[in-house]
Copies of this chain bind each other. A is one copy, B any other.
Amino acid sequence: MEEAAILLKQKGLKVTPQRLAILNLLRNTKEHPTAETIYKKLASDFPTMSLATVYKTLEVLKNIGLIQELNVGEGSFRYDANTNSHPHLVCLGCGKVEDLDESVLQNLIEEVKKHTDYKLVEQKLYFYGYCPACQRKLSN
């Protein structure tokens, strides 16, 4: 049985083709797609699947901690199978969303802890700028 199916079963969820497809799609991409994007990408394999099912599935996967929801500030959510609340780097030129690593995150958290008496639980960190390729385009 494939890994995604095992993960679902472990959490006591029924393993349906739609759930497998959505989870696998997220686990195999670095693109942080929206619900709409996921829906369209799977439309060819699951022509009858509704957008509501995508949303319901994302909700379930989020609740059991297999994926996380990102809010880059676009009016719709993006989803990520990397559930660390790691920092994201958003390119203002081409719109792509990349990850920054965990080690950077730890340093950022340390810095904030020094300056607050909040008990920190998680964080959503988005840095916006231009990726190397877009920087080159701009300088032309």
Bound-state Cα–Cα, A89 to B125, Å: 11
Give the residues from 82 to 140 in chain A that come closer than 8 angstroms, CB to CB, to chain B: 87, 89, 91-92, 100-101, 104, 107-109, 111-112, 115-132, 135
Report, as a range, how many residues of chain A touch the other chain.
Answer: 20 to 34
A17 within 8 Å of B (CB atoms): no
Name the B residues within 8 Å of A131 (CB-CB): 117-118
- CB pair B111–A130 under 8 Å, yes or no, is no
* Interchain CB contact (< 8 A) of A115 among B101, B122, B128, B135: B101
- CB pair B116–A135 under 8 Å, yes or no, is no
Name the B residues within 8 Å of A104 (CB-CB): 111-112, 115
